[in-house]
Structure 1
Amino acid sequence: MKINIFLRNCAIAVMAFSAIQSCKVPSRDGDLFEPNPIVLERMEVETLETGSKMPPFELPDMYGQMVSHEQFSNAEILVIAFISNHCPTSQAYEDRIIRFVEDYQDKGVTLVAINPNSPFGLLPEECSYSDLDDTFETMSIRAEHKGYNFTYLYDGDNHAVSLLFGPVSTPHFFVFDSERKLRYNGRMDEIERPGTANGEDLRKAVDQILAGEEVSNPRTSAFGCSVKWSWLDEWVSRINREWKEQEINIDFIDKNGVKEIMANDTENLRLVNVWASWCGPCVQELPDLLEINRYYRNRRFEMVMISADSPDKKDDALRILRNNHMAVSNFIFNDTKRDDLINAIDPDWRGAIPYTLLIEPGGNIIYKHQGVINDLELKRIIVEHPLLGRYY
């Protein structure tokens, strides 16, 4: 058994070394890292044991600059935190991580965060508490929006470093002393909800190391979203395939039906998009609208599409909806009197499409936009609304 474990660790180390070498930045031309995620074969991942030496690492930060463990050699204590953009638990701890860095940076403690997740292992539905997925490109967006005061590295291409540490979730914290021996790994504290704790488990471990003491509780249970290893791609592909196989229909609706939609007699946020098959920008934004629907459809959110095509163009509208897999509530206005549609939707609307509105229960419009949406802006409005929220 020990031989098998040894061989497994050797194989991972070799893969990690070659992967690290393959993503180094060419020094002569200064080109930045470009993500190139791959799918690995499924393997058992073991968490680093207490007392183990810290695995070396060299990974790109959120701006594409390569960062090595050697750059933190002066740190008395090095904390490696595995976090992610999409996870509600990870987001719930962001403020506590920021405060931890503020409180300990003058004590010789450095924290480095790593995103271990592969884009192949994450479904849109798993992003229902966020406005972002876990791709390399979205890391800087989250860091800048939240005001990260720590280095944030990407390991989603091949998990070269994550496989050596063995995080079980995001977040998961590993604390190394001045000799880079692992002294603590696990959670930051035991209460996820923001405002209820302040990273007591992590702080106690770090304080004991700084005081030259043994860590009284060197391992705790990490809790959060499972790491999205690339070999989960089969499951993700199956769910995506099932989504594309859903039956998509479109029904006629009159002005009174449109008024009922706008009144939103439900308990959900309702996103209404007015579009047409002949409208290039309308069709262009359908993939973004689909992603928004898949992000939030399992929460208190729903989407309604209303086609402004002539009634005799129903088949054209349906064809485009099916081509874009728009499995939402789809309608086409049953009259050619555009003023009736405009007045039923929004009397202030000037009639240009696409036109998108976000409506609270009871009919209060909290967002409306004429033209192609900014999907990030709209996602933030949705996820930060009190009916949804970023945390459990």
Structure 2
Amino acid sequence: MKHSLPRLILTASLLFVCAPLFAQKGVDLESELPPDAHHLKIGDAAPDFSLKGVDGKIYTLADFKDAPVLMVIFLSDHCPYSHAVETRLLPLVAEMKSRGLGVVAICPNNPEAMAIGELGYTKYGDSYDEMKLYAKEQGFTFPYLYDGDTQTTAKAYGCLCTPHVFLFDRDRKLRYMGRFDDSRFAETNTVHSTDARNAVEEMLAGKPVTTAVTKPFGCSTKWIENKVQLIQVNEKMYGAPVVLESIDAANVAALVRNNTKKLRLINVWATWCVPCVQEFPGIVSISHRFANRDFEVITISVDDPKDEAKVKQFLDKHHATVPNRVQRSLKAEGRRTNNYLFTGASLDALMQALDPASPGPVPYTILVAPGGKIIYRHANQIDAAGLSAKIVDQLGAYYSPSKN
């Protein structure tokens, strides 16, 4: 968990980094790139690269010399737009490989330039090691290369976001660039313009590409330069106040009933409990990781009520602030915080209100769906990565027209 605290607070104020990027009419695309980046134009030669793939091999353009048409597509592990496109990219590759389509995917993002709030749709970040896991899990049938340390290839291609598609002919001249298609959703019935597929078909048929440039949309490239902005936001967020309030068994039961649209993670802990203290950075990290989803973390301390100052000090130390988006939802519920100190005499009453199936000891953690159904329960210390994966499974890994 040693990386959790520096990253966990980089969330609500970083929407300018996290937000999807749309190349809009009238926008100078080059202004969206670092000063030393290049914006390719139709007819330009494909910039060469030398990048490590998830299989450990180093790839260059020469490795794809036999492909009449080469797709260079920038993808990422974390982005819901990328996730959706991949559900259609894999079938396209399977269909077109025998006809001469070569594909290489590149992750352009620097992991240290990414706010934790941008990881709310994924089990994985964009580090090289996580790319290996992601590619295997997704069943990638093409090389997946890492450019995050130097980003020289992303700059050479002018990668604005993930996904971003570039199609080159046999002479490796650019013939198409832009979006994969016109849908941000995974559902195929939401696609109305199969732009990259159309361009591939025309190129394989030896025809000019009818629509050579489209507007890419997706998650903005996480440039190394963003780290400076993250540090500034980090410093600001460290000073955010933590609010601690008392709670009784009746109000715990009300929280578990969960009359909201949010998935709730409720963690019972104490400052004197070693596994509680060890897992707490992961709990706070999860709170900020999913802050932009319909999700919240509620902590309930079972310390002696006389030790309120000690509990508050611990929460402050671990920056257990309530993310801005969650704060707005609390106001609608008539609450001020998600950090509580249990003041009742009976811990049995607390656990009965929380979850009658609880064995009793702390730490104890439950996931409560809207309407009050407990869909996950865990006694003892959590595995933050494993729990994050369960949360993604519940919330979904990409945008969907059925989920607002």
What TM-score, normalized to structure 1?
0.84
State the partner residue of 1:74.
66
More divergent stretch after superposition (222-231 vs 189-198): 189-198
Which region of structure 1 is more displaced relative to structure 2, 337-346 or 95-104?
A: 337-346
Q: Which structure has the higher relative contact order (CA within 8 Å, separation 6+)?
A: 2
Q: In structure 2, how many angstroms separate the alpha carbons of the residues matched to 1:103 and 1:258?
A: 54
* Partner of residue 228, structure 1: 222
Match of 2:313 among 306, 315, 319: 319
Q: Distance in 2 between matches of 1:266 and 1:210?
A: 52
Structure 2 distance, partners of 1:331, 1:197, is: 46
Query: Cα distance, 1:44 vs. partner?
Result: 5.3
SS at match of 2:293: coil
Question: 1:364 matched to which residue of 2?
Answer: 373
Contact 1:47 1:168 in 2 (8 A): no
Whether 2:357 is the aligned partner of 1:348: answer: yes
Residue 389 of structure 1, CA deviation: 5.4
Note if 1:164 corresponds to 2:170.
Answer: no
Equivalent residue, structure 2, for 1:374: 383
Where do residues 112-151 of structure 1 align in structure 2 (5 Å cutoff)?
112-151=104-143
- Give the Å deviation of 1:57: 0.9
Any stretches of 5+ residues in structure 1 without a counterpart? 1-40
- The answer to whether the 8 A contact 1:263-1:363 is kept is yes
How far residue 214 of structure 1 moved from its aligned partner, in angstroms, is 1.7
Give how far 1:330 is off.
0.9
Does the CA-based 8 Å contact 2:83-2:397 persist in structure 1?
A: no
* RMSD, matched Cα: 2.0
CA contact (8 A) 2:185 2:398 kept: no
Aligned counterparts of 1:336 and 1:65: Cα–Cα separation in 2: 62
Deviation at 1:249, TM superposition (A): 2.7
Q: CA deviation at 1:45?
A: 3.1
Q: In the TM superposition, what whole-angstrom CA distance separates every residue of 1:179-208 from its partner, at most 9, and x where no partner exists?
A: 211111111112222222287211121122
Does the aligned pair in 2 maintain the 1:96–1:199 contact within 8 Å?
A: no
1:58 partnered with 2:72: no
Out of 247, 264, 275, the position equivalent to 1:281 is 275
**Aligned residue number for residue 330 of structure 2:** none
Q: Following the alignment from structure 2 to structure 1, what is the Cα–Cα distance between the partners of residues 365 and 193?
A: 41
**Structure 2: distance between partners of 1:55 and 1:179:** 12
**Using the alignment, how far apart are the partners of 2:236 and 2:293 within structure 1?**
20
The offset of 1:246, in angstroms, is 0.8
Question: Equivalent of 2:144, from 142, 152, 155?
Answer: 152
Structure 2: runs of 5 or more not aligned: 1-32, 323-337
In the alignment, what sits opposite 2:197?
Answer: 203
Indicate whether 1:390 and 2:398 are aligned.
yes
Q: Using a 3 Å threshold, how does the CA distance of structure 1 residues 63 and 257 change in structure 2: closer, same or farther?
A: farther
- Distance in 2, matches of 1:62 and 1:374, equals 25
SS class of match (1:369): strand
SS of alignment partner, residue 161 of structure 1:
helix
Query: TM-score, length-normalised on structure 2?
Result: 0.82
User: How far apart in 1 are the matches of 2:55 and 2:340?
Assistant: 43
The C-alpha deviation readout for 1:285-318, integer Å capped at 9, x for no partner, is: 2222222111222331111001122223333322
- Paired residues, number: 351
Deviation, 1:82, is: 0.4
SS at structure 2 position matched to 1:258: helix
Q: Which runs of 4+ in 1 moved over 4 A?
A: none
Match of 2:99 in 1: 107
Q: Equivalents in 2 of 1:333, 1:64: separation in Å?
A: 51
Alpha-carbon distance in structure 1 between the residues aligned to 2:365 and 2:254: 16
Paired residue type of 2:359:
R
- Contact 1:311 / 1:336 at 8 angstroms: preserved in 2? no
